[in-house]
Amino acid sequence: MSGFRLVSFDSLTEADLAHWQEIRTGESRWDSPYFSASYVAAVHAGRPVSVLLGDGFVWPLHISGSSARPAGSPGADFQGPVLAPGVRFSPRALLRAAGVKSLTFDHLVDEYVDLEPWIEERRPSPFMDVTDGLEGYLGRAAKSGRDKMSEARRLTNKAGRDLGTVEFVAASTEHLDQVIALKREQYASTGARDHFADPVQRELLHRLLDSGLGLLSTVHAGPHLLAAHFGIRSGDVLHWWFPAFDRKFGPLSPGWILLREVVMAAPELGITRIDLGRGEDDYKRRAMTGSSTVCIGAITSGARTTLRRVSRKAISAAKASPIAPQLKAIVRKFR
């Protein structure tokens, strides 16, 4: 491939955007909403995005000083350049064109031949095939997934008896701030980093909802919000992004009640796949019907390459250590 050019997202021409869409339309590999110009536009409104363009090549990035990350990081669950079939590129030339010394990724879609030397780890990213809704899903799901869906049906009935009529709204325009608050409570209770401590991330969800790319689904029992989910969709793909539930209703498994409702509504919504995102959460393991692979690593130059590889080996060794759980507990205590 010939050279790259770097432009601000808001300097893209109609021809550039048409080129981007043409590549996406021609290859199902880019069907995730994270690869859409609409998602990147919403991100750019809060954090500047620069786009590396080439012949059959589009990669939106955040550039800060001498480093770069894919647009939407750290919240983007699928990353990488959008490529036309057969396009090859030089990673080092990419760094030079962006004016950086490193480009770090943590959810890179697998099978970029030219980025293979820069990949340090691979992780599964589960998905649910929900073609034909709940009936179709149950025919493909493992026993653990079928059992949880059956349990969710029983608990939905219980919630109706104990709390009031259960009402599911597939595409709501209300309660987003309440969902964010519930998610922040979850982060605090588990010691996880609070993604929404940054107002930029909260504002992004509102822009996505207003643009129609965001999908907010809720389930109430009487006056009580049991659970909600905010995701993004493109075509027939929904990305399961920020599920949240009220912890006092935990015994009702509200997350599974909501997931079952979304799967049942999938045909009406025109959704055939729900991407659950990278992670080893128990519900993902149970609900999945398959998985793709995402990669962690960085394109670097000079001494940075050696330093990252040494650091990554040290981190992997620490995670494998018998005292790893105690170390995690100490870190959480002093946060």
Q: Can you give the pLDDT at residue 332?
A: 41
Mean pLDDT of 78-88: 96
**Token pair listed for 199:** 């107002």
**Domain shared by 105 and 136, yes or no:** no
58 sits in which H/E element: strand 57-64
**Domain shared by 250 and 162, yes or no:** yes
**Domain shared by 147 and 62, yes or no:** no
Question: In 3D, which of 272, 240, 238, 237 has the Cα closest to residue 256?
Answer: 240
Distance CA(261)–CA(268), nearest Å, equals 12
Contact between 203 and 44 under an 8 Å Cβ cutoff? The reply is no
Taking the model in full, what pTM does it have? 0.89
**Domain shared by 137 and 267, yes or no:** yes
Q: Can you give the pLDDT at residue 139?
A: 97
Q: How far is CA 321 from CA 130, 166, 318, 326, 331, in A?
A: 39, 46, 5, 10, 15
CATH code for the domain in which residue 99 is found: 3.40.630
Contact between 82 and 30 under an 8 Å Cβ cutoff? The reply is yes
CATH code for the domain in which residue 235 is found: 3.40.630.30
Mean pLDDT of 87-92: 95
* pLDDT class of 304 with cuts at 50, 70, 90: very low
In a domain, 205, yes or no: yes
Tell whether the model's pLDDT for residue 101 goes beyond 60: yes
Count of the separate structural domains present in the chain: 2
Q: Can you give the pLDDT at residue 312?
A: 53
Rg, the chain, Cα only: 21
Question: In 3D, which of 215, 237, 294 has the Cα closest to residue 28?
Answer: 237
Three-state secondary-structure class, residue 217: strand
**Domain shared by 321 and 248, yes or no:** no
User: What domain range includes position 12?
Assistant: 5-125+293-333
Percent of the chain residues topping a pLDDT of 70: 89
The angle at the Cα of 83, spanning 80 to 86, to the nearest 5 degrees, equals 130
Model pLDDT for residues 158-216, shown as the tens digit of each residue: 999 999 999 999 999 999 999 999 999 999 999 999 999 999 999 999 999 999 999 99
Model pLDDT for residues 118-172, shown as the tens digit of each residue: 999 999 999 999 999 999 999 999 999 999 999 999 999 999 999 999 999 999 9
How many helices (H) does the chain have, and how many strands (E)?
A: 11, 13
Q: Can you give the pLDDT at residue 335?
A: 33
Q: How far is CA 212 from CA 8, 220, 327, in A?
A: 23, 22, 43
Cα-Cα-Cα-Cα torsion 128, 131, 135, 137, nearest 10 degrees, comes to -20
Q: Can you give the pLDDT at residue 331?
A: 41
* pLDDT class of 280 with cuts at 50, 70, 90: confident
In a domain, 283, yes or no: no
Tell whether the model's pLDDT for residue 314 goes beyond 80: no
**Domain shared by 191 and 314, yes or no:** no
Mean pLDDT of 242-270: 97
332 sits in which H/E element: helix 324-333
Distance CA(141)–CA(144), nearest Å, equals 8
Q: Can you give the pLDDT at residue 324?
A: 59
DSSP per-residue string spanning 265-310:
HHHHHT--EEE--S---HHHHHH-SEEEEEEEEEEE-THHHHHHHH
